[in-house]
């Protein structure tokens, strides 16, 4: 493991039930994400891309293998604390009932961040403007947002918590080109500030990606550097 | 007529009551509802089960001991726990102990609180009071508990995406499940609250009706009914809260991940 490795996975294995018994979705994955990396992950539908992200975020039961965060083994970090550092943004942006502000401050309502201070209204408005949502009021009910707006707010909610690693499951799948470019700019800035990004891409390739992998038959293959 | 003024129903009158079922059965046949077989079985069960209960209670009242009373309460609690789980198809397996514990907690505490503090029975295991009150406590709270248990698991399944997003942000199992727990407890309590609000206006409650038919003074019957309704609301609340709090966590792994349908692998215990 290199000194700069933020997140490393060794021999990750996971199965899912198939018609003729268990099927290996992850068949011994090795992956290292360094500070500043934007890594793109592609592969056919059902190949296990989402499964890999869930495994890295410790959101999948039954996974075997070793995970380290900044050199510390996963078993030495409580799962909830791990997820504050290795943040997954699921593909379906899901907001809780309430306003935009309620949703953006949700992470600070959780016990794991009870000692941290939630961002103020000014910081939230700036963040909204930064992803092209300057016209969305903090008081707007989340149920009145479009799918594209909701997905950007879900991304902001994760980014505001300042994790070390971002795991993005097709973050631009429901966005137009302009909004997708804003998301790509945001994630590139996150990596430039010392974070690492692993994102699944189906629709568009991320120009900022330093490495591209393809996941097929449970194994990763580097497509380009 | 009995000594206390109640009109006694004889065996002939009891048989005559079958006419109601025959009319219903006839309607079912005429309208091709195909309910006649279920109706016949249900009628036979009603006669047999309630007659058996009458004989058992008569024997228990005459030969009451504390262990017979407790044993009968345990039979009620066990049967109720089975019903609770049967009505919750989304519940994970292996919850019978939790259901029985919740039913026992509410059944014993509320029953003996009422018999000792409100009715003030001379002997704590006085079967004539303890068993009917336990029956009402367990039977009525069972409905609310079953509703709450069914709802907590179905609501969590419908909120699985929201719970994944919350867990990914660092939420504990309790934080992710809390909205579903609230929904479930509201659902479990609502029939009891509605029933309390409608009592005496929309309907005359069953126990009060029974007492009046048996010759009791309506005001005395009212006092008993108020105690019964308050006791049922407490029993439902205690039972539903304890059952839901004991059970919701079974759908999560030790690391707080919700086991949605796709993650439940048969035969493998989640780590």
If 0-12 CB within 10 Å is exposed, 13-18 middle and 19+ buried, where does residue B114 land? buried
Mean pLDDT of A42-64: 93
Cα(B55)–Cα(A207) distance, integer angstroms: 83
A151 touches chain B (CB under 8 A): no
A79 touches chain B (CB under 8 A): yes
| Residue B26 neighbours by CB under 8 Å, 6+ apart | none
pLDDT at A156: 95
Coil vs helix vs strand at B47: helix
Q: Is the CB of residue A94 less than 8 Å away from at least one CB of chain B?
A: yes
Put simply, whether the predicted model's pTM sits higher than 0.95 gets the answer: no
Helix (H, G, I), strand (E, B) or coil at B13: helix
For residue A73, the distance in angstroms to the closest alpha carbon of chain B comes to: 15
Q: What is the ipTM of this complex?
A: 0.92
CB atoms within 10 A of CB B203: 11
| Average pLDDT value for chain B | 90
Burial class (CB in 10 A: 0-12, 13-18, 19+), A38: buried
CB pairs under 8 A between A and B: 78
Mean pLDDT computed over every residue of chain A:
91
Give the mean pLDDT of A75-102: 95
Q: What is the structure's pLDDT at B150?
A: 96
Query: Could you tell me how far CA A177 lies from the centroid of its own chain?
Result: 20
Is A3 a residue whose pLDDT tops 60? no
Instruction: Find the mean pLDDT for residues B202-206.
Output: 84
| Site from B156, B164, B168, B175 to mutate, A interface, most A CB atoms within 10 angstroms | B168
Spatial neighbors of B159 by CB under 8 A, at least 6 apart, are B179, B180
Question: CB–CB of B175 and A111 under 8 A?
Answer: yes
Residue B2 scores a pLDDT above 60? no
Look at residue B166 and tell me whether its pLDDT is greater than 60: yes
Residue A158 contacts B, CB cutoff 8 Å: yes
List pLDDT tens digits, range A155-205.
999 999 999 999 999 988 888 888 888 888 899 999 999 999 999 987 666
Residue-level pLDDT at B5: 61
**Per-residue pLDDT at B14:** 84
Q: Is A62 on the interface with B (CB under 8 A)?
A: yes
Q: Which helix (H) or strand (E) covers residue B131, if one does? A: helix B127-158
The pLDDT tens digits of the residues spanning B85-126 come to: 999 988 998 999 999 999 999 999 999 999 998 888 999 999
Element (H, E) at B107: helix B96-113
């Amino acid at each position: 493991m290199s000194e700069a490795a933020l997140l490393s996975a060794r021999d990750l294995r996971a199965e899912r039930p198939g018609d003729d018994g268990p099927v290996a979705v992850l068949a011994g994955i090795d992956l290292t994400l360094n500070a500043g990396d934007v890594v793109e992950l592609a592969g056919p539908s059902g190949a296990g891309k989402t499964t890999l992200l869930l495994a890295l975020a410790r959101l999948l039961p039954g996974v075997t293998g070793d995970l380290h965060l900044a050199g510390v083994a996963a078993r030495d970090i409580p799962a909830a604390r791990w997820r504050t550092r290795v943040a997954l943004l699921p593909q379906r942006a899901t907001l809780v009932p309430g306003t935009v502000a309620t949703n953006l401050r949700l992470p600070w309502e959780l016990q794991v961040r009870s000692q941290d201070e939630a961002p103020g209204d000014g910081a939230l408005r700036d963040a909204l403007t930064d992803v092209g949502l300057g016209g969305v009021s903090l008081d707007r009910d989340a149920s009145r947002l479009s799918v594209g707006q909701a997905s950007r707010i879900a991304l902001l909610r994760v980014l505001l918590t300042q994790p070390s690693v971002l795991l993005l499951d097709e973050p631009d799948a429901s966005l137009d080109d302009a909004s997708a470019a804003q998301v790509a700019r945001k994630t590139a800035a996150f990596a430039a500030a010392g974070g690492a990004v692993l994102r699944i891409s189906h629709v568009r390739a991320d120009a900022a990606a330093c490495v591209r992998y393809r996941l097929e038959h449970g194994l990763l293959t580097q497509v380009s550097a | 007529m009995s000594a206390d003024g109640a009109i006694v129903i004889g065996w002939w009158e009891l048989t005559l009551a079958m006419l109601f079922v025959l009319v219903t059965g006839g309607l079912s046949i005429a309208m091709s509802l195909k309910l006649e077989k279920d109706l016949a079985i249900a009628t036979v069960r009603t006669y047999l089960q309630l007659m058996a209960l009458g004989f058992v209670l008569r024997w228990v009242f005459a030969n009451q001991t504390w262990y017979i009373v407790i044993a009968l309460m345990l039979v009620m609690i066990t049967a109720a726990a089975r019903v609770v789980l049967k009505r919750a198809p989304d519940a994970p397996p292996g919850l019978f102990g939790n259901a029985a514990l919740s039913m026992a907690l509410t059944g014993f505490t509320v029953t003996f609180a009422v018999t000792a503090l409100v009715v003030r029975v001379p002997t704590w295991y006085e079967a004539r009071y303890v068993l009917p009150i336990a029956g009402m406590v367990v039977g009525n709270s069972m409905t609310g508990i079953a509703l709450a248990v069914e709802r907590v698991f179905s609501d969590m399944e419908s909120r699985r995406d929201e719970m994944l997003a919350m867990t990914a942000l660092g939420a504990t199992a309790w934080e992710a499940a809390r909205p579903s727990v609230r929904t479930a407890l509201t659902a479990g309590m609502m029939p009891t609250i509605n029933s309390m609000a409608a009592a005496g206006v929309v309907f005359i409650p069953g126990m009060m009706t029974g007492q009046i038919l048996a010759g009791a003074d309506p005001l005395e019957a009212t006092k008993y009914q108020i105690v019964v309704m308050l006791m049922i609301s407490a029993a439902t609340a205690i039972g539903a809260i304890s059952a839901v709090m004991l059970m919701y966590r079974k759908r999560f792994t030790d690391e707080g991940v919700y086991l949605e349908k796709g993650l439940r692998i048969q035969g493998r215990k989640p780590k």
